Amino acid sequence: MDSFPRRLRALWGIRWRNIPLTAVAGIVALGLVGGVLALAFGSGSQPENAALTTASGEHKPASGAVERIDAAAAIAKESAEKKAAKEKAAAEQAERAGVAKQRAARSEQRRAALEQAAAEKKAAEKKAAARKAAERKRAAEKAAAEKAAERKRAAEKAAAEKAAEKKAAEKKAAAEKAAAAKRAPQWVLPLTSYELTGRFGQSGNNWASSHHGLDFAADTGTPIHAVGKGEIISAGWQNAYGNAIEIRHPDGTVTLYGHMSRFARTSGSVSAGDVIGYVGATGNVTGPHCHLEVRPHGGGLDDAIDPFVWLKNKGLNP
Ligand SMILES: [Zn+2]
């Protein structure tokens, strides 16, 4: 009994042998033509279709389709190349634009940096100028203050010197006054040039009992001096004394000067040596002289003491 695969093989082999070669070739050709036509009509252009319709023979239409395929491929390639070129150009342009932009940005940065530097320089200059002005002001103020202080010092020095000078002058004046006071005698003789003619206690025609004074004889008009500091308590006519002056001294002693020709003073304070009048011969006299009496308690004739002794006790030498 025959298996199914053997039968199938037998059938297959019969069929291959029974099919004529030409028929197979024709079928293959037809298939090719159909495929090419389908390609041509599917993607070809109008003129190519026209060429196909006009063409005669079986191989020509197949050759044109290949060319069209090549052309389409070339066109596609060219398009792709163009596109790539365009893209490349665009990319290059974009790159150039980027570079330019970067350059512009750098330029802007440089400009900004320069501007900042200029602004900083200007600010620094302004600051320096302000500092210099402040320094100048400070220096001027300092100089003015020093000048004022110097003026003040000078004024103070001048004032101090003036005060010192004044003080020194006052001191000198006081010293001179003191020296003068020291030099100035406390007591003096009534006449500087004289002759003693009548002594105290003498008796004579001119005196009622005895002589109560000391007589300094000198020419009429000879100045008579106060023997010490004191106050004139009387100046006038006193009978036997003629023109007489009485002076009371600080210790209470009274001195009397008689027989004056005229008075130089009649009142007020006197110092030792002051001229109070002049020698004369008024009153009870025999010649011009000054009669000096001394009354220690300012009393009357009973109080009178010897002027010679009294003057001697004052350090004088009549
Ligand atoms: Zn006398």
Residue spans per domain, the chain: 195-313
Place of tokens 């009549």: 318
Phi/psi for 291 (5° steps) reads: -90, 120
pLDDT in tens, 154-183: 999 999 999 999 999 999 999 888 887 777
CA of residue 220 to ligand 1 center, whole Å: 15
Is residue 61 within 8 Å of residue 55, measured between CB atoms?
A: yes
Average pLDDT over residues 303-311: 97
> Considering only CA atoms, which of 211, 252, 244 is closest in space to residue 228?
252
What spacing in Å lies between the alpha carbon of 229 and ligand 1's midpoint?
A: 22
Burial of 148 per CB tally in 10 Å (0-12, 13-18, 19+): exposed
Give which of 222, 187, 216, 218 is closest to 199, Cα–Cα.
216
* Residues counted in the chain: 318
Mean pLDDT of 11-31: 66
With beta carbons less than 8 A apart as the criterion, state whether 258 and 224 touch: no
Half-sphere exposure of 276 (CA within 13 A, CB side): 35
Any idea of the CA torsion for 96, 99, 103, 104, to the nearest 10 degrees? 60
Cα 202 to ligand 1 centre (Å): 10
Q: Which CATH number fits domain 195-313: 3.30.70.1520, 2.40.50.140, 2.70.70.10, 1.20.140.10?
A: 2.70.70.10
* pTM for this model (two decimals): 0.47
Mean pLDDT: which of 62-71, 79-88, 193-202 is highest?
Answer: 193-202
Query: Ligand 1 centroid vs 210 CA: distance in angstroms?
Result: 10
pLDDT over 70 (residue 56) = no
Whether 264 and 228 have beta carbons less than 8 Å apart is answered as: no
> Looking at the DSSP assignment, which residues form a beta bridge with residue 268?
232
Going from the Cα of 268 to the center of ligand 1, the distance in angstroms, rounded, reads: 25
The helix or strand, by DSSP H or E, that contains position 243, with its residue range, turns out to be strand 243-248
Decide if pLDDT at 22 tops 70: no
Q: Which residues fall within 8 angstroms of residue 85, CB to CB, at 6 or more apart?
A: none
Q: What are phi and psi of 128, to 5 degrees?
A: -65, -40
Q: Residue 49: which pLDDT band, with cuts at 50, 70 and 90? A: very low
Give me ligand 1 centre to Cα 242, in Å: 11
Task: Tell how far the Cα of 262 is from the centroid of ligand 1, in angstroms.
Answer: 17
Q: How far is the CA of 307 from the centre of ligand 1 (A)?
A: 11
How far away, in angstroms, is 234 Cα from ligand 1 center? 18
CA distances from 96 to 81, 84, 87, 92 (A): 22, 18, 14, 6
What spacing in Å lies between the alpha carbon of 213 and ligand 1's midpoint? 5
